Amino acid sequence: MTITTIKALATSVAAAAILTSPAAAEVDFSGETIEWVIPFSETGGSARWANFFAPLLSEELPGNPTVVVTFMPGAGSTKGANWFQEQVHTDGTLLFGSSGSTQFPYLLGDPRVRYEYQDWIPVMATGTGGVAYINAEDGARFDGSANDLQDIDFIFGSQGATGLDLVPLLAWEMLGMNVEPVFGIKGRGDGRLMFERGEATIDYQTTSGYLSGASDLVDAGSAVPMMTWGALDENGVIVRDPTFPDIPSFKEVCEATDGCETEGVAWEAWKAFFIAGYPSQKIAFLPQGTPQEVVDTYVAAFEAVRARPDFAEFSSNEVGEYPMFVGAGAANATREATSVTADAKAFVINWLSEAYGVVIE
């Protein structure tokens, strides 16, 4: 399904939400507190994403409830997702924020996963990007290719190889770079802190995390941006990330690097997981059992957020220039984010075993 189709569906569901506004008006959250659970630490991009949308959602929901973002990190976000799977709320006072690091273990059949995306009700989804950067000393050797970086031993703070970090780890290996991950951090913000303290020499952040912290390191001269993961155009072709038009994409760096190929099984596997993890990377869910009138109310509220005349401008500064999908568009984005081909899955499972001794059974 193309991005154009998804946008069209998102628009149609927005119109449906307007037509069903009398039913939505029956839901009143006056005096209520809505808990938006994020399965990561409070220092990463998912935290910034939810904290950005929370006050906007509060303004648009009937009764203007307080929307509080809480955090439940652990096990690469599967701890929080497993907890959410067990929740059956009917009053609309619980939201959950998924990310690529939640979606990838599901895609790979990670034994820690006890959650099922088909049980959850997506009401909003946004894409994001990612920026990889290296320390200033090694960055001085970066010329748009990784050729002069292949003899350097890099250290990277990682949440785990089966989560969203899969995308950069595989990209760096395809570039012939030696990157040693230190597993066990609870959020990408913690990886940035390792980089700031000199405990790591390479890092990446999703767009919101990069804008809120890592870009300051670049401005201060202590980090050098290496590449973004890119973005998809309407034909499914990887292009430069619109939020960072001056930074080359991984595809461009790969094409400029000896031995890195933008075709073949490794490239197709990387691209499949990039698509699953970034264009529809962050998704807001209501729990199973939520009544339709509550779902309709959330769809209408998020559509009202998207329709604000100032939304595009200030969202680009906080979470980047990416599509926001609502209702049916969010449902389609969720399907794209939770499916990869059997060949891509098999390649990645074999690579995880060979590179990191991660055996998925």
Question: Which residue pairs, CB below 8 angstroms and at least 24 apart, start in 83-88?
Answer: 83/37, 84/37, 84/39, 84/115, 84/120, 84/285, 84/287, 85/114, 85/115, 85/116, 85/119, 87/287, 88/287, 88/288, 88/289
How does pLDDT run across 218-254, given as a tens digit for each residue? Answer: 999 999 999 999 998 878 889 999 999 999 999 999 9
How does pLDDT run across 146-185, given as a tens digit for each residue? Answer: 999 999 999 999 999 999 999 999 999 999 999 999 999 9
Which residue has 């990612």 as its token pair? 130
In the prediction, which pLDDT does 264 show? 95
In the prediction, which pLDDT does 8 show? 44
In the prediction, which pLDDT does 336 show? 86
Per-residue pLDDT at 281 exceeds 70: yes
Domain extent listing, the chain: 3-126+277-337, 130-270
213 vs 38, 186, 191, 195, 218, CA distance in Å? 19, 17, 11, 11, 9
Q: How far apart are CA 201 and CA 114, in angstroms?
A: 35
Mean pLDDT (whole number) for 82-91: 93
Nearest to 228 by CA among 238, 218, 219: 238
How does pLDDT run across 199-222, given as a tens digit for each residue? Answer: 999 999 999 899 988 999 999 999
Per-residue pLDDT at 19 exceeds 70: no
Mean pLDDT (whole number) for 45-51: 91
Q: How far apart are CA 200 and CA 152, in angstroms?
A: 13
Nearest to 344 by CA among 254, 273, 246: 273
CATH topology identical between 3-126+277-337 and 130-270: yes
In the prediction, which pLDDT does 190 show? 92
Q: Give one word for 74, left, alpha or beta, with left for phi > 0 and alpha for psi -120 to 50.
A: left
Q: How far apart are CA 134 and CA 201, in angstroms?
A: 6
- What stretch of H or E contains 97? strand 94-98
Q: How far apart are CA 156 and CA 259, in angstroms?
A: 22
Q: How many Cα atoms are found within 13 Å in the side-chain-facing hemisphere of 30?
A: 4
pTM of this structure: 0.80
CATH number of 130-270: 3.40.190.10
Tokens representing 146 are: 């990784």
Mean pLDDT (whole number) for 319-336: 90
Per-residue pLDDT at 18 exceeds 50: no
Mean pLDDT (whole number) for 350-359: 95
Tokens representing 280 are: 């529809």
Q: Among residues of the chain, what percentage have pLDDT more than 90?
A: 76
Domain 3-126+277-337 homologous superfamily, CATH: Bordetella uptake gene, domain 1 (3.40.190.150)
The answer to whether 230 and 241 have CB atoms below 8 angstroms apart is yes
Per-residue pLDDT at 20 exceeds 50: no
